[in-house]
Chains A and B, each alone.
Chain A
């Protein structure tokens, strides 16, 4: 099952179990979404539960917040993460703060789905990584699944969560990643990282599509005699501090990989945790391999390739760190 099919299966399964779940967004109904994630859901659950919305992200999220407070479990879709910014005010100012500001009288059980990331020739407005903006905000959770299995389990947990969750799907993973996904329902708790590969020479801490790339790099390095551990964060808020420290203490060398640009990224937060809590276990400077600090993903294929993190780039950075 592909990453995309896992998400669709998860949506269908949750909608079958819970009639309060409604989906709306641009082209999610008749067309089944631009990536076809919601394909077939309108036919199955009807126009009242899978709704095509106007092209207005602020309204999509704003309406969803009201519906959530009113008792539904809305799962709005933002067609591309790049377009989530018109809804920023709704997410940060309303959804994230609602429980706190109403002293627990209201809460917002809302899952906002949006594809992120590049590498699909999407250029400036269809390639951005936006997770770090939201990871900064107390009151929301941010899931960034890296495998089909995790995508379905995290989605179930996000829907079950009583507070707003941003669910960021990597669009390059939709059809490129395949994996075993059980038919029965399962939940992967938000805030639990997972060691995707055990190793002893260094740790790669990453998430989303880069988990797969890191695993491929680890495979390459295995043949060179370098043993790489890969930790998949799975959610970037909350961060699983215990597992981050555990892997760092185990190997003493940490390479943080994300496609999002470097400055103020998730890697900075992970680095700070390590510096604060694991200094005396570090055998090498913490290293980050990130997207460059340029305004956006270029359209030109060579430039896009230069921007993107690849398994080869990860292997090279890990190799250097292992040699240190």
Chain B
């Protein structure tokens, strides 16, 4: 039997996803839960596990294409004995909304438009399936905007046509890595043209993740009015606390205790005190989120990833430490699940890990704030009337000024500051 792999639902408001790359080729055998492909969403990419064991029979949507949630993207010929157990018995683990993602229905158009837009002739359906094209994304030339057989054939021809040659580099010796795709605009802003390619320059086409990051960043900076503030925090007590627990924690929990869980804990306190920052801009309204789901930006060799710790306010410090450890490990090994990457309500960026002192972070819309924890450094500071050597850290906050005013933002950072400064070697971490 054939198990259809559908484009999973990546989040409540997400209606489509882009295929990053296929990790298996047609004809490859694949184990259930083994990574099958990469999907790009927001500013991250994630791997989708196979819903069944078998052989990848057909790839219906090629890398680089964007299709609506629920669109069949591949078919897996389920292996012999697995056929008895595998089918629909359990939803694909990558599908946070099982009803949407596991329905075995034939490609129902996800975007029903005007009557003739959603109705496809058998010929159109067959061709679309054969060529892995979503007919709802083709402009219809038939009566009432109907997508005709010729429209599909034209779309196929256009897709398979060789990419137009890039403009000849001024220096013929310039090594061009592959033929770049014709430049596609990432947002509605006219791009500044690049200068001439000179000898020794390397022209590298955009990877999909790069393209998505570019799009999201441009969109965030172009549409969200960013404002920025910073506080400086004395974390000498926190440093002492960590020193005290370091060895024991490693022994008991099996991994190193870092500063990040403390920062997350402080952020939860801050968001509880200033709910304006745990909110979303909604055009003519503001949505104040009840749940506190913290995104933690992490750099991996696969690109920037922002896994989300759900209900961070319900975890104690050790729980947060475990969540951080688990997500970091899986991010580095590329084993994040899609639900790990969506649903964040606020983001914490541990920029200290890359050695910075100040960061003007870009907000991840529709969230309205992102806070960074910079490097902890020993500095001479005035304590009372004396000068002392203390462990200091800067916390930087970028916030959406449509939703949050400076006073609220400062209040938020001060809650974090007070919380972190209240920690000492005797504080409990359990």
Contacts and interface: CB of A to CB of B under 8 A. Distances in A.
Query: Are A and B a genuine interacting pair, yes or no?
Result: yes
Interface residues of A, number: 9
Given A252-B121, A280-B126, A281-B123, 7 more contacts: A279-B122, A280-B122, A280-B123, A282-B123, A283-B124, A323-B143, A324-B148
Which of B122, B123, B125, B143 has the most chain A CB atoms inside 10 A of its CB? B123
A284 interface: yes
A280 B127 CA distance: 9
A280 B149 CA distance: 11
Interface in A241-289: 252, 279-284
Determine chain A's interface SS by DSSP, over half rule: loop
Contact of A252 (B125, B143, B146, B149): B149
B303 interface: no
A284 B142 CA distance: 10
Given A252-B149, A283-B148, A324 B142 contact: yes
Interface in A304-324: 323-324
Interface of A: 252, 279-284, 323-324
Interface in B152-182: none
Contacts, number: 28
A24 to B, nearest CB: 51
Interface of B: 121-126, 142-143, 146, 148-150
A252 B142 contact: no
A54 to B, nearest CB: 55
11 contacts: A252-B121, A280-B122, A280-B123, A281-B122, A283-B123, A283-B149, A284-B121, A323-B142, A324-B142, A324-B146, A324-B148
Contacts of B123: 252, 280-283
A281 B121 CA distance: 9
Contacts of B149: 252, 283
B209 to A, nearest CB: 37
Contacts of B125: 280
A225 to B, nearest CB: 13
Contacts of B150: 283
Q: Which 3 A-B pairs have the closest CB atoms?
A: A283-B149, A283-B123, A280-B126
A281 B122 CA distance: 6
A282 B126 CA distance: 10
A280 B146 CA distance: 17
A323 B143 CA distance: 6
A283 B122 CA distance: 6
Contact of A282 (B122, B142, B143, B146): B122
Contacts of A282: 121-123
A252 B121 CA distance: 10
A323 B148 CA distance: 10
Nearest to B147: A283
A279 B125 CA distance: 11
A60 to B, nearest CB: 48
